[in-house]
Amino acid sequence: MEEQQDLRALDYLYEVGLLKRYKRTGWVVAGVSSPESIADHSHRTAIVAAVLAELEGASPERAAFLALFHDTQETRLTDVPYIGKRYLKAASNAEVTEDQTVGMVEGLRRLLGGAEAEYEAKGTAEARCAKDADKLECLLQAVEYREQGTDTQAWIDTSLAALETDSAQRLAKLALGRAPLAWMHEARDSKPAR
């Protein structure tokens, strides 16, 4: 029994590895020649969630955890572009997470299922920060791709409109007026004041 549960946990680890290979399809639609992967997106989303949570007075660790797992269902659903969701009736993230965790030790099933449920419900400050992190990360990526010459204004507009926390709204507004590599030029040209 224990070995079988360990095999299910191992299989899940291999399954989430697919997220490193799956490209974010919205960027493919936008014409980005080498778009980020879902794992790339999830990594920065977790960091953004921690930052937002700290700014909002919530738990950065919990918000980052929720954000890290927010797209794990895409191993089975893939990253359906926004317009495609109008026509497709996919299983819910809860259903996918339940299927992904069948046969795992109960504590692990509760951990993963609980993260999905909390994130989707947005009933905690951490979940709201994680949800906003998903949208803010998309906006940041869109600004970066725009700087490279791709028309990503629609992604910027929809991401900006979806932000709920004050911190995410403030950071998004700043991002729209600042070049993505401004920090690097400033760091190169001067030593930061302490």
Q: Rg for the chain (alpha carbons), in Å?
A: 18
Quick: pLDDT tens for 26-36: 999 999 999 99
Over residues 186-194, mean pLDDT = 81
CA distance linking residue 53 with residue 14, whole number of Å: 30
Q: How many helices (H) and strands (E) does the chain have?
A: 11, 0
* Helix or strand (DSSP H, E) at 10: helix 2-17
Over residues 49-58, mean pLDDT = 98
Domain boundaries, the chain: 2-189
Quick: pLDDT tens for 75-126: 999 888 878 888 988 789 999 999 999 999 999 999 999 999 999 999 999 9
The predicted structure's pLDDT at residue 79: 87
CA distance linking residue 141 with residue 40, whole number of Å: 10
Query: 2-189 has which CATH code?
Result: 1.10.3210.10
